[in-house]
Amino acid sequence: MQIEPGKLRSSGFAFGTPVPSPIPAAVSAASGLEGDFATYVSSKEKKKITPMYTFPAGQPKLESQWRDMEWTEEQKTSLMKTVSSYRPSCHDVTQARVLLLGPVGSGKSSLISSVQSVFNGRVTNRAMVGSSSTSFTKKLQSFNIHGEKGEDPTGLVLCDIMGLGDGEMTGLTLHDILSVIKGHVPEGHKFLPDQPVRSETAGFVKRPSLKDKIHCVAFVVDASKILTYPKGLSTTFRQLRKHISDLDVHQVALLTHVDAICPETAKDVTQVYKSHYIQDMMSKAGALLGMSTSYIVPVKNYSSELDLNVNTDVLLLSAVDHILQYTDLYFQDNTPQPTGPKIE
């Protein structure tokens, strides 16, 4: 599918200039990838945005959870065992690669550090986390999630990448994102808007194997910013999702910072599935992403805390388990079928 320059300008997004495809002609023709991609809202068009929704004051919480969740130490132990023992169903691959993708500041790097913290038994910042309006992560980084106390890596790798930017020259291009998913981009590659990934790029993987590719994409969005994200972001997400779906890669979504929109959840994470606020924001996240809320799970990352909390751990591990379920669907669909002896 050709992306026509300026096709989505009415959405408020700024487009870069079309870049030559870095993918060999045969691969490029097969993918139909041409043109450019909206990098994010133009800094020239930023305006004060009035939230479209105001939380009703004093709204009572639900009597029962709208999703079943056990908040116990035993559940945490069970989930840790599930995640640490996970192995891809495809024997040709030892680890599942999951790409975290979302706007700047959505909490992708914090999520990686938080998940690893659960297994470390203490809060650590493994992935460098920034606090500015521009993406702190500039390159492709793959993080092996290790088991308890530094055990061997699990079967899960979380891939961090720069966020969808806050200006004309700060965000990723669709071309580069799809190149990562297809397995062409080498580990540690630094993304520069004026230097798209090409076949001449150092370390470019011309013939990626199944282990080089991304097996699931997890979109990460900030619950506290859902109402103030520019309208054009929804168009970008839907455009991304269409191209990613064309590659037969399943997608899920994580709603971060849920404690920032619900005072009860901020005090007690176990209230997350009893909150009208969060339930409503999940629906709005689904509308933003163009996906059913059944694909979306709320999470709370560790930020200012120094000690782990069992309920926060359960919520984080449940999100990882959710991701792994969809990751395995990819392997079920893409595992090479054994060929039997030829029958004359």
Q: What is the DSSP string of 186-205?
A: PTTPBPBTTB---TTSTT--
Q: Where residue 22 falls among pLDDT bands split at 50, 70, 90?
A: very low
3-state DSSP assignment of residue 114:
helix
CA–CA separation, 21 and 8 (whole Å): 21
Q: What percent of the chain has pLDDT over 70?
A: 74
> What is the three-class DSSP state of 172?
coil
**What type of residue is 239?**
Q
| Predicted TM-score of the model (pTM) | 0.81
pLDDT at 126 (0 to 100): 62
- The predicted-structure confidence for 296-326, as pLDDT tens digits, reads as follows 999 999 988 999 999 999 999 999 999 999 9
Alpha helices in the chain (DSSP H): 25-31, 73-84, 108-120, 174-181, 232-246, 263-267, 276-289, 310-334
As a whole number, the mean pLDDT across the chain is: 81
Please check whether residue 149 is in contact with residue 120, taking contact to mean a CB–CB distance below 8 angstroms. Answer: yes
- Please, is 159 exposed, middle or buried when counting C-beta atoms within 10 Å of its C-beta (0-12, 13-18, 19+)? buried
Which of 77, 78, 137, 95 has its CA nearest to residue 112?
137
Spatial separation of the C-alpha atoms in residues 331 and 326, rounded to whole Å: 9
Q: What is the pLDDT of residues 60-100, one digit of tens each?
A: 678 899 999 999 999 999 999 999 999 999 989 999 999 99
Residues 6+ apart with CB under 8 A from 259: 265, 266, 269, 300
Each residue's pLDDT tens digit, 93-139: 999 999 999 998 999 999 999 999 999 999 988 655 554 445 556 89
Determine the topology of domain 73-334 in CATH.
Rossmann fold (3.40.50)
Strands 96-101 and 38-41: unpaired
Burial tier of 99 (Cβ tally within 10 Å: 0-12, 13-18, 19+): buried
Rounded CA gap, 192 and 170, in Å?
Answer: 8
Q: In terms of pLDDT, which residue wins out, 314 or 196?
A: 314
- Whether the predicted pLDDT of 241 surpasses 80: yes
For residue 209, pLDDT over 70 is answered with yes
Q: Which two tokens stand for residue 333?
A: 């669909």
Return the pLDDT at 170.
54
Q: Quote the CA–CA distance of 342 and 277 in Å, as a whole number.
A: 61
Contact 253, 218 (CB under 8 A): yes
Q: Where are the alpha helices (DSSP H) in 21-128?
A: 25-31, 73-84, 108-120
Provide the pLDDT for residue 42.
Answer: 37
